[in-house]
Amino acid sequence: MVRLSRRSRVAVGVAAAGIVVAGAMVLCEVNAPTFGVEPAAKGGAPECTRIAKEYPDRLNGQERDHTDLPGVAAWGGGAVVLRCGLTPPRPTTDACVNVDDVDWVLREAKSQDGRKLLITYGRHPAVEATISGQGSGIDTLLVELSKTVKPIRQHEHCL
């Protein structure tokens, strides 16, 4: 039987602990929910990085979900998903509403399964919000989301 010195036993213990921690980190990364969304092409843009630092921990009473996708945030188990880094929409006849100096275009054609899809208008890059039809009203959420995206400068306005 081989006897290990105290120093060797400590080294083996530290190495084993490191393997366990690394495995847990990989498992968390692999299991981070994506809520069926992909990050936008420009999700890592400086504007998105800047506003992502200010994404609220709670939105309309719902806890923020963990996700590691660049420019993406979700609340309430994916009831609300925000994606920064999209190409801004072109002029459109889709409904547009101004909430606290942020123009949001409602994409009726892309809204489905009781979820509303909105995208900021005139901001580069654009920010998309997908909101579940359940829970509190969309108006309250848009007020809170507008505070979040307002730092991205608006270049054009809806008519």
CA distances from 83 to 31, 40, 73, 135, 145 (A): 19, 7, 7, 20, 11
Bridge pairing between strands 126-132 and 115-120: antiparallel
Collect all residues with Cβ–Cβ distance below 8 Å to 154 and sequence separation of at least 6: 101, 102, 103, 122, 123
Q: Is the pLDDT of residue 155 over 90?
A: yes
Per-residue model confidence (pLDDT) at position 139: 85
Q: Is the dihedral of CA 53, 57, 62, 65 positive or negative?
A: positive
Closest of 40, 45, 28 to residue 69, by C-alpha: 40
pLDDT tier at 4, thresholds 50, 70, 90: low
Q: What is the pLDDT of residues 73-106, one digit of tens each?
A: 999 999 999 999 999 999 999 999 999 999 999 9
Alpha carbons within 13 angstroms on the beta-carbon side of residue 111 total 18
CB 79 within 8 A of CB 120: no
Contact between 108 and 116 (Cβ < 8 Å): no
Which pLDDT band, with edges at 50, 70 and 90, does 9 fall under?
low
pTM for this predicted structure: 0.75
Q: Is the pLDDT of residue 3 over 70?
A: no
In this structure, the number of other CB atoms found within 10 A of the CB of residue 91 comes to: 11
Cα distance between residue 63 and residue 33, in whole Å? 14
- DSSP H/E element including 46: helix 46-52
Poorest-pLDDT segment among 5-9, 11-15, 59-63: 11-15
At 24 the pLDDT is 36
* Residue entry with tokens 């998309």: 128
